[in-house]
Amino acid sequence: MSEIYNSQINLSPEEKRLLLAKLLRERASEEKSVYPLSYGQQALWFLYQSSKLSTAYNVAFPARIRSKVDVSTLRQAFQGLVNRHATLRTTFKVQNGKSVQEVQGYQEVYFEQIDASTWTWEQLKEQVVKTYEHPFDLERGPVFRVHLFTRSQQDHVLLMTLHHIVYDAWSIGTLLDDTQIFYSEAKAGREASLPPLKSQYTDYMQWQTQMLAGSKGEQLWHYWRQQLAGELPILNLPTDRPRPPVQTYQGISYTFKLTESLTQQLKELVQTEGVTLYTLLLAAFQVLLYRYTGQEDILVGSPTGGRPQAEFDQIVGYFVNPVVLRASLSGNLTFKSFLSQVRRTVLEAIDHQDYPFPLLVEQLQPNRDPSRSPLFQVLFNFLSPQRFGEVPGLLAPSETPLKASWGELELESFELEQQQGQFDLTLEIIEAKNSLFGVFKYNTDLFDAATIKRMAGHFQTLLKGIVKEPEQQVSKLPLLTEAEQHQLLVEWNNTQTEYPQDKCIHQLFEAQVERTPDAIALVFEEQQLTYRQLNARANQLAHYLQAMGVEPEVLVGICVERSVEMVVGLLGILKAGGAYVPLDPAYPQERLAYMLSDSQLRVLLTQQELKAGLVEHEIPVVCLDADWEAINRESKVNPASGVKSNNLAYIIYTSGSTGKPKGVQIEHFSVINLLNSVRQQPGLTAQDTLLSVTTLSFDVAVSEIFLPLAVGARLAMVSREVTSDGSQLLEKLNAYSATFLQPTPITWRLLLAAGWQGSNQLKMISTGEALPRELANQLLPKGAELWNLYGPTEITIWATAYQVESGKGSVLIGRPLTNTQLYILDSDLQPVPIGVPGELHIGGAGLARGYLNRPELTAEKFIPNPFSEEPGSRLYKTGDLVRYLADGNIECLGRIDHQVKIRGFRIELGEIETLLSQHPALTEAVVMVREDIPGDKRLAAYVVSNQEILPTTSELRRYLKDKLADYMVPSAFIFLEAMPLTPNGKVNRRALPAPEGLRPELETTYAMPQTKVEQSLAEVWQQMLQVEKVGIHDNFFELGGNSLLMMQVHSKLPKIIGQELSIVEMFQYTTIHSLAEYLSQEQNRQLSSQPNDNRGEKRRNRLVARKRQS
């Protein structure tokens, strides 16, 4: 021993350090200790295994040192820190199928000094971020890194980075205090005199195990089981992009500051209400989430310190335990009453905070979705770094650098965004000296920066409303900033345009007759009429009808096939002063009988061949063909009728929720506004030929017939038979050299299927139902322009227009037409922010008068306009779920009544339909919820293929599983030759058949493993899950599995099946059948991508290497 001592006398300090390190390493090999993981560590270890390159759980303390640093002594100080705290010497691994941590007896600190003397400040910041974001290797270590970026002797940046699995916010004070003592003592040439730690992290784990096994553990579990009873809600925050099938951890931050004035008002309010700032701000955040989602049951996570005993205060480690805070916002609560609820919830949660969150997830067994974190998807945290001391206080946001003394070193704050992307969204409120800072940390795979910036503005507006009026209902508190409110309500609705609002439809036609009397107005098969001839015939019919008592507000039915008589009949009715009611000859007799009874028609126009087939009635009938000889005796002069622009023009019956159609009453001025708007955009001129293909009972026919006649264009009409035959329709399209066509997507598909090559002269309009993106992309190169026009019958055909461009996302519905106002509102009629879904409400000149004979329904759907000072101004509630995009265009998300919930997840059927429609082998897709067995809701997809060999159900399921969460993949796929249609050309959802028989995807009984791989997987599952037998369609989680068991299965599989796979892939394929199928495909893919002569060798090498690692 004396020889060793003597040999050290002449060594330099650095040589002594290296010698000591060597001796300690030699001793450490005898002192390694292996322990299980705490519950909190298990959760972080699982996340690490899921995404080893993620830096979401890197944490750091950055600071600028504005004084001279003894680098060797600083290194020595950090070595002392690592020697003192076992967690900093820990690595993690799977041993015998179990996740464990191994504490090294000695580990040299990772300390690197970097010369930054030639870097600009921007280069330095970039390198600090890059260094911080370097992933940790938890299996090899280290879990603690120190970097010193030196600009000069008096200017450095210190970066301490740790993985969250060994560290929490409470630990920062201990780390900094201990390091400062080690540095100061070593600088003074003394041994650091820190008292021994009373306990280690392993003592905490032992305490936790004993607590959970006792009565307190049972009492904690009982509380949380009650608190989280029932169906657990999934927070459906609106996102800017589709959610990836597996959760990602790409994050970034947005920081904002609350004014000192608002901060002071909040502090005064908490004094008045007897709550903490934390509770008040949490309640405000929950209200924000409620207003964004409309969900009244909301779960938010919030971290607690997790150090139940004072003896654990000085331990560096991961003690944090998130608690789940459940909020109920039903019943028109005021904010003040809601705050009381939140206060109770918070206090109870604090009292029961020691129950480990990962164990809670395991016990509750919520529906698992690999695209979301379990139980909660958003986190709220309130931080006050100053309470940990002056130096930790440097982590607080500040508009100017903060300063602190760290022993003899002078520090300044250094801004570094960190711990981002752990959840969909995190709101941290950080308390500074005289104000509060907010930090939104968000997943960049879900949200855009502009969205989060707006959200920060909404949160601040909400807080201002709360301090001003805490007794206000949470649903009525202000949310939009003044700028956004003006943009939504005023700027984007600035559509005021002059139009001839005192005119009637037929008067526009009469004016055109004066301008171009000899131009061709109408073509049908071998017949054609000039404007003069068409006007004369319509006038004769009008005089005839007036003699039968037709005048303003009198209803005249018209039941004719597509023909010249149809156009003459419509114009004749309008010229007589009446309003027409179209009756489609293809309608069922029962529907026609109801319409005749409900409308109380004065006269019915028809054709001789249809007369005999009409239901019994006592209405006077005029046959436009057989009775024409009598009509032809009438005057050809324009009749006088006294009709005004606010008189009825037509009534169109649309489907009703009760099963009986409802008559929508439209006045002349509404049609005039529509025609005036559409003639400008998309635009129709006298040089155009419009090909008419729409049934008269569909309101689009109003534009199709009267728009060309109002501008001097040529109206080319085709028969019903032609409209349903793609080849015949293509022939007519070419024969008439049509330049304008506005059918539903179904008709466009007919044309494409018939081999239509397109025309650069054709303006293409799609209307009536959603335009699928894949269809839009097929149409775009085939015509001059493609437009998507949207609108319910109740607002006179269309309310919005959008010129379609090529792309990948859904086709938008665009912006409002002239003299039309659009409001996207929540259920309390409050405007929702940009990007947030709400119900579309429409106001303006296009609004219908209401429903015929249905005053209650009219009052329900046509409501007073709260945003207008004009007397009698109304809005129509469309029932369509839409949202504004940042550029002012509107995206339609589907019908509100098409939103469904399955297993607690809210699903928008349109999203699934869009993706299915993009499959190369499919042309159409409709998704429905079926409940053929009471209480068992399942998704069923109805698809139409354009290929002789149909894609398999498994292929379609795999296709969707790559893009959607598992719960959004339909259980059954039904292949149809064609979709059943309504007479208006829309998909008839009620006519879709029930799935026939049980398919494998619908199997609920035991299905035996068949292949060798399936059998091997089943054996592992049975062993891990302790289940007697596992079927190939049984879901891992539904059998009682959890993430920890999944990791144990994952560790066993490579040796059993001879293939590598990631933990993420196991979360994607949660049945034996789906996992085996994936493994088979993956093996085939790998084999096909390798040369035949060495593929086996490569596989053997990979397996050998893995065995060595394990």
CB atoms within 10 A of CB 343: 18
Query: How far, CA to CA in Å, does 694 sit from each of 562, 573, 699?
Result: 9, 20, 9
Residue of 303, 265, 275 lying closest to 379 (CA atoms): 303
Burial 235-267 (b: 16+ CB within 10 A, else e): bbbbbbebbbbbbbbbbebbebbbeeebbebbe
Residue of 847, 432, 427, 408 lying closest to 669 (CA atoms): 847
What does the block give as tokens for 372? Answer: 């979301």
Least confident of 546-560, 699-713, 885-899: 885-899
653/406 Cα distance (integer angstroms):
79
Helix, strand, coil % in the chain, rounded to nearest 5: 40, 20, 40
pLDDT of residue 843: 98
In contact, 1039 and 1027? CB cutoff 8 Å: yes
Going by pLDDT thresholds of 50, 70 and 90, the confidence category of residue 1027 is confident
Domain ranges in the chain are: 1-30, 31-203, 228-476, 505-881, 907-1002, 1012-1109
As a whole number, mean pLDDT of residues 109-130 equals: 97
What does the block give as tokens for 1088? Answer: 């096909």
Residue of 347, 438, 433 lying closest to 385 (CA atoms): 433
302/968 Cα distance (integer angstroms):
29
Query: How far, CA to CA in Å, does 891 sit from each of 264, 434, 770?
Result: 40, 42, 11
Dihedral sign computed on CA atoms, order 267, 272, 278, 284: negative
pLDDT of residue 1048: 78
989/897 Cα distance (integer angstroms):
13
Domain 505-881: assigned CATH number:
3.40.50.12780
pLDDT at 829 over 90: yes
What does the block give as tokens for 982? Answer: 């309504």
Query: How far, CA to CA in Å, does 619 sit from each of 214, 591, 596, 604, 611?
Result: 85, 17, 9, 6, 12
In contact, 761 and 739? CB cutoff 8 Å: yes
Residue of 892, 902, 905 lying closest to 928 (CA atoms): 902
pLDDT of residue 8: 47
In contact, 969 and 961? CB cutoff 8 Å: yes
397/256 Cα distance (integer angstroms):
9
Query: How far, CA to CA in Å, does 574 sit from each of 505, 667, 853, 915, 1022?
Result: 8, 11, 22, 45, 76
pLDDT at 1104 over 50: no
DSSP string, 441-465: EEETTT--HHHHHHHHHHHHHHHHH
The DSSP output letter for 679 is: I
Between the ranges 94-98, 572-576, 615-619, where is the mean pLDDT highest?
A: 572-576
pLDDT at 925 over 60: yes
What does the block give as tokens for 644? Answer: 């005004």
65/1021 Cα distance (integer angstroms):
55
Least confident of 155-159, 216-220, 388-392, 1089-1093: 1089-1093
1093-1101 contacts, C-beta under 8 A, 24 or more apart = 1099/1058
Residue of 350, 296, 341 lying closest to 323 (CA atoms): 350
At residue 976, the 3 state secondary structure works out as: strand
Tally the C-alpha atoms within 13 A of residue 758's C-alpha that lie toward its C-beta. 12
Burial 105-114 (b: 16+ CB within 10 A, else e): bbbbbbbebb
The dihedral over CA atoms of 796, 798, 800, 806, expressed in degrees to the nearest 10, equals 180
Per-residue model confidence as pLDDT tens digits over 621-642? 999 999 999 999 999 999 999 9
511/678 Cα distance (integer angstroms):
18
Per-residue model confidence as pLDDT tens digits over 498-543? 999 999 999 999 999 999 999 999 999 999 999 999 999 999 999 9
In contact, 107 and 90? CB cutoff 8 Å: no
Q: Tell me: domain 907-1002, CATH 3.30.300.30, correct?
A: yes
Going by pLDDT thresholds of 50, 70 and 90, the confidence category of residue 936 is low
Beta-strand ranges (E) seen in 799-873 are: 800-803, 815-816, 820-825, 838-844, 850-851, 862-864
Least confident of 481-490, 615-624, 629-638: 615-624
pLDDT at 26 over 70: no
In this prediction the pTM is 0.82
Per-residue model confidence as pLDDT tens digits over 223-251? 999 999 988 999 999 999 988 888 888 89
142/88 Cα distance (integer angstroms):
8
Q: What angle in degrees, to the nearest 10, is found between the helix axes of 1072-1088 and 1012-1025?
A: 130
Edge-to-edge strand ranges of the sheet holding 555-559: 621-623, 603-606, 555-559, 579-582, 648-654, 662-667, 850-851
Residue of 298, 245, 266 lying closest to 465 (CA atoms): 266
41/101 Cα distance (integer angstroms):
9
Whether 31-203 shares its CATH topology with 1012-1109 is answered: no
In contact, 579 and 601? CB cutoff 8 Å: no
Mean pLDDT (the chain) is: 89
pLDDT of residue 996: 64
As a whole number, mean pLDDT of residues 788-796 equals: 97
Selecting from 3.30.559.30, 3.40.50.2300, 3.40.50.1970, 1.20.1530.20, what CATH number does the domain 228-476 have?
3.30.559.30
Per-residue model confidence as pLDDT tens digits over 383-441? 987 677 788 888 888 888 999 999 999 999 999 988 787 899 999 999 987 889 999 99
| CATH class label, 1012-1109 | mainly alpha
Q: CB within 8 A of 89, min separation 6: which ones?
A: 82, 83, 103, 104, 105, 106, 107, 141
State percent of the chain over pLDDT 70: 91
Under CATH, what is the fold of the domain 31-203?
Answer: Chloramphenicol Acetyltransferase (3.30.559)
Helix (H) or strand (E) holding 1072: helix 1072-1088
Which amino acid is residue 748, in one-letter code? Answer: W
What does the block give as tokens for 435? Answer: 């104000």
At residue 839, the 3 state secondary structure works out as: strand
As a whole number, mean pLDDT of residues 979-1001 equals: 70
Which residue did the predictor score with more confidence, 937 or 193?
193
Burial class (CB in 10 A: 0-12, 13-18, 19+), 993: exposed
pLDDT at 1098 over 50: no
